[in-house]
Structures are given as structure tokens and as C-alpha cells.
């Protein structure tokens, strides 16, 4: 089929065309707002076990240059928390997948994400700030991510009683604004979660908080 289509379209180098398409997609992704990246390819999975009942959101950002996305970590993590709060999710992950090098990085916005990620992928390393996990060659949400998360939940995973920034009130999340020159570009303004210049987003893996308020 590919050979036939390439002949009809007069394409001599299919691999080159594919690489150019991937680059174009990555360039477009790099220009998206944090809100666009977190919500662009996001799916929700519901669980109900004796130890955990809730919804787990899982977004995937596929790119040929994962460093460009990961460099925006301090911008993305507060948006993940805000989205999680607004959608009333128990857990929300964002995986950044390099489709050329076939490697994945999981972004962790809070104690629940950190705990579930460790339970699902015990052999994967987490950075010192507890905000990223190196998933190695795991790149598929359908084949690599959700099956392992499902196993962890069925094995008895439960949400930790830890303090996370998602305990903030909805009013503190700011407002979403649409760019009048680009209606697909939506940006959050006035969020109390925004990281200040010179500071970095971190996840506390030790402190305790009232479980009722921790999402």
C-alpha cells in the first residue's frame, strides 16, 4: 500500500517524507501552550477495587525532540495539577515520548502520581525532585503504560496520604484565556500554582495531610 501511494504521489524517499512530517508535528507541539499539551491527547481510565476507586487520566505527547517539551517541565506540572483538579481525577499522568529514539518520560505532578508510578514501574528511576520518571523504551499508552498501571491497582495500590499542591481551591487555579489570533491556543492566567522565576516545581514524598483534601 505504501509503495503504491508513494508511486502515485511521486515520492522518491518515503523515509525522508516521514521524517519531515514528524518534524513538522514536533514543531507544532513545541508551540502549544501547557494547557494544549496536557489536554491534547488525554484519555481517562476508571478503576474500582477494594483499595482504590477513582479515575486516572493519561496524556501522551509524541515528539521527535522530547527535550523541547521536558525543558518546559516547570510550566507543565502546574497545568497538570490544575487539569487534574478541574476534571476531578484521582491521578493524572503526562508521558513525553520520543518517537525517533523510542523512549518515554513520565511527568509526575504529585504524591499520588509518584506512588502509582513507582508501583507500576518499580524498575524505573525517578529524578531527585520526584517530578519525572525515566520509562526507558516504554512508549505505548495502550501496550506499555495502562496495563502496568492496571496491574498495580489490582495488586492493591491505594492513594497515599501526602500533601500535594492539588489541595488548592478551584479559585486559585486562575482562568483560561483564548488567544484572539489563534483560537486553538489556550493559556492559563493568574494561577497560584505557577512556578516563580528561579524556582522549580517539586513533589513532596514525605509530608502528611488530611486524606479527605488530597487528590
pLDDT greater than 50 at residue 214: no
Per-residue burial over 18-48, b = 16 or more CB atoms within 10 Å of its CB, e = otherwise: eeeebeeebeebeebbbbbbbbeebeebebe
Q: What is the pLDDT of residue 135?
A: 98
Q: In terms of domains, do 26 and 72 share one? A: no
Give the pLDDT band (50/70/90) at residue 210. very low
Give the pLDDT band (50/70/90) at residue 207. very low
Q: What is the pLDDT of residue 39?
A: 95
Q: In terms of domains, do 129 and 195 share one? A: yes
Q: In terms of domains, do 19 and 117 share one? A: no
Q: What is the pLDDT of residue 27?
A: 54
Q: What CATH number is given to the structural domain containing 66?
A: 3.10.310.20
**Cell triple for residue 104?**
518515554
Q: In terms of domains, do 17 and 54 share one? A: no
Chain centroid offset of residue 125 CA = 17
Question: Which of these, 170, 187, 158, 198, lies nearest to 81 by C-alpha position?
Answer: 170
pLDDT greater than 60 at residue 113: yes
Q: In terms of domains, do 81 and 5 share one? A: no
Q: What is the pLDDT of residue 163?
A: 53
Mean residue pLDDT across the chain: 85
Question: Which of these, 110, 47, 40, 91, lies nearest to 69 by C-alpha position?
Answer: 40
- Domain that includes residue 184, residue range: 33-213
Rounded mean pLDDT, 17-43? 73
Lowest mean pLDDT among 85-94, 101-110, 135-144, 199-208: 199-208
What is the Cα–Cα distance from 2 to 174, expressed in whole angstroms?
48
Q: What is the pLDDT of residue 51?
A: 97
pLDDT greater than 50 at residue 129: yes
What is the Cα–Cα distance from 84 to 157, expressed in whole angstroms?
19
pLDDT tens, 132-184?
999 999 999 999 999 999 999 999 999 988 656 666 777 888 888 888 876 56
Q: In terms of domains, do 42 and 137 share one? A: yes
Which burial class, exposed, middle or buried, applies to 149 when counting CB atoms under 10 A from its CB (0-12, 13-18, 19+)? Answer: buried
Q: In terms of domains, do 24 and 67 share one? A: no
Counted domains in the chain: 2
Q: In terms of domains, do 98 and 180 share one? A: yes
pLDDT tens, 187-203?
898 888 888 888 899 99
Q: In terms of domains, do 7 and 92 share one? A: no
* Cβ contacts of 20 within 8 Å, gap of 6 or more: none
Q: In terms of domains, do 9 and 94 share one? A: no
**Cell triple for residue 107?**
511527568
Q: In terms of domains, do 91 and 124 share one? A: yes
Q: In terms of domains, do 129 and 118 share one? A: yes
Question: Which of these, 208, 191, 212, 210, lies nearest to 111 by C-alpha position?
Answer: 208
Amino acid at each position: 500500500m505504501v509503495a503504491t501511494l508513494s508511486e502515485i504521489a511521486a515520492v522518491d524517499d518515503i523515509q525522508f517524507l516521514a521524517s519531515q512530517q514528524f518534524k513538522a508535528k514536533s514543531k507544532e507541539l513545541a508551540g502549544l501552550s501547557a494547557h494544549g499539551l496536557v489536554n491534547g491527547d488525554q484519555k481517562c481510565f476508571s478503576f474500582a477495587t477494594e483499595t482504590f476507586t477513582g479515575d486516572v487520566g493519561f496524556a501522551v505527547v509524541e515528539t521527535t525532540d522530547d527535550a523541547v517539551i521536558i525543558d518546559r517541565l516547570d510550566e507543565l506540572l502546574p497545568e497538570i495539577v490544575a487539569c487534574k483538579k478541574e476534571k476531578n481525577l484521582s491521578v493524572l499522568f503526562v508521558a513525553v515520548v520520543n518517537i525517533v529514539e523510542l523512549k518515554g518520560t513520565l511527568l509526575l505532578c504529585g504524591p499520588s502520581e509518584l506512588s502509582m508510578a513507582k508501583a507500576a514501574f518499580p524498575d524505573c528511576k525517578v529524578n531527585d525532585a520526584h517530578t519525572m520518571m525515566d520509562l526507558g523504551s516504554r512508549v505505548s499508552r495502550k501496550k506499555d503504560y495502562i496495563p502496568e498501571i492496571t496491574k498495580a491497582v489490582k495488586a492493591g495500590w491505594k492513594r497515599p496520604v501526602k500533601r500535594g499542591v492539588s489541595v488548592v481551591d478551584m479559585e486559585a487555579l486562575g482562568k483560561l484565556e483564548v488567544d484572539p489570533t489563534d483560537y486553538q491556543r489556550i493559556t492559563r492566567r493568574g494561577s497560584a500554582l505557577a512556578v516563580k522565576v528561579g524556582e522549580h516545581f517539586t513533589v513532596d514524598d514525605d509530608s502528611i495531610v488530611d486524606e479527605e483534601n488530597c487528590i
